[in-house]
Amino acid sequence: GAVVSQHPSRVICKSGTSVKIECRSLDFQATTMFWYRQFPKQSLMLMATSNEGSKATYEQGVEKDKFLINHASLTLSTLTVTSAHPEDSSFYICSARDSTRDTGSEQYFGPGTRLTVT
Amino acid sequence: KNQVEQSPQSLIILEGKNCTLQCNYTVSPFSNLRWYKQDTGRGPVSLTIMTFSENTKSNGRYTATLDADTKQSSLHITASQLSDSASYICVLYGGTSYGKLTFGQGTILTVHP
């Protein structure tokens, strides 16, 4: 089955620093990847849609200058949380869709990254 | 507005018992509906997929149903195990060009020995 990996699985950083999270599709190509944020006991909230070779599409209320997304290849998207603050502490999950299939096809989710900002 | 509502919010059952989780949706257009299991601190994993024409589908001890007329789906878990303790999320795949998903809030299932 299709596998999506994330790195790191958990990270602790100091307030004011930047953190980069990687999302990789391991056995398929993904022109589109999605970044989600999840708070405790809540469901996933879409932050942005990452498109290979073009700018990401951000959801309303998500600061594009704070959450930088780069999708430089068909198997890798990165999310950089810039100038992190404690309120950015959350569980970040990415997903990817096989680019050879239609938009209704399954999105495969990564295992998530736990970010803690101290 | 596209919405997915799940019930109950949480459920506690004893090991070996059965349970049924509910999902009501108003997503349009409808592509397919999936049930995911999310263990604490992990990403969601797909359990079943239901397309518009399907009424029921099983995956081991998991059986999903879909009533497209009433826009309801259910996930039935048979002979629950301790490892079934997780959040179960109903997700609607719509036919938008960006392939955005609509998530339910999830049902937190706890199985006690």
How far is B31 from A47, CA to CA, in rounded Å?
22
A42 neighbourhood in chain B, CB within 8 Å: 105
Size of interface A-B (CB pairs under 8 A): 54
B45 neighbourhood in chain A, CB within 8 Å: 109
Instruction: Kindly state the percentage of chain B with pLDDT values over 90.
Output: 75
Which residues are within 8 A (CB) of B9 and not within 5 positions of it... i.e. 6 or more apart?
A: B105, B107, B108
Q: Are the beta carbons of A43 and B104 separated by less than 8 Å?
A: yes
Please give the structure tokens belonging to residue A89.
Answer: 């502490």
Give the CA-trace dihedral at A44, B110, B41, A67, to 10 degrees.
20
Q: Cα distance from A5 to chain B (closest Cα, Å)?
A: 10
Question: At B21, phi and psi to the nearest 5?
Answer: -110, 145
A115 — contact with chain B (CB < 8 Å)? no
Please give the structure tokens belonging to residue A28.
Answer: 């398929």
Q: Are the beta carbons of A93 and B44 separated by less than 8 Å?
A: yes
The partner residues of B89 in beta bridges, in order of sequence, read B36
Show which of residues 59-98 on chain A sit within 8 Å of chain B, judged by CB atoms.
91, 93, 95, 97
**Local confidence pLDDT in tens for the 118 residues of chain A:** 789 999 999 999 999 999 999 999 999 999 889 999 999 888 999 999 998 888 899 999 999 999 999 998 999 999 999 999 999 999 999 999 887 877 667 899 999 999 999 9
Closest CA to A98 of A74, A63, A71: A74
A106 — contact with chain B (CB < 8 Å)? yes
The partner residues of B29 in beta bridges, in order of sequence, read none
Residue of B34, B97, B103 with shortest CB distance to A43: B103
How far lies A31's CA from each of A26, A65, B78, B98, in Å? Answer: 13, 22, 38, 11
Show which of residues 5-34 on chain A sit within 8 Å of chain B, judged by CB atoms.
6, 32
**Tell me: the pLDDT tens digits for B20-74?**
999 999 877 778 899 999 999 999 999 999 988 889 999 999 999 999 899 999 9
**Tell me: the pLDDT tens digits for A70-81?**
998 999 999 999
Better-scored residue on pLDDT, B83 or B97: B83
Q: Are the beta carbons of A107 and B101 separated by less than 8 Å?
A: yes
Please give the structure tokens belonging to residue B28.
Answer: 């349009």
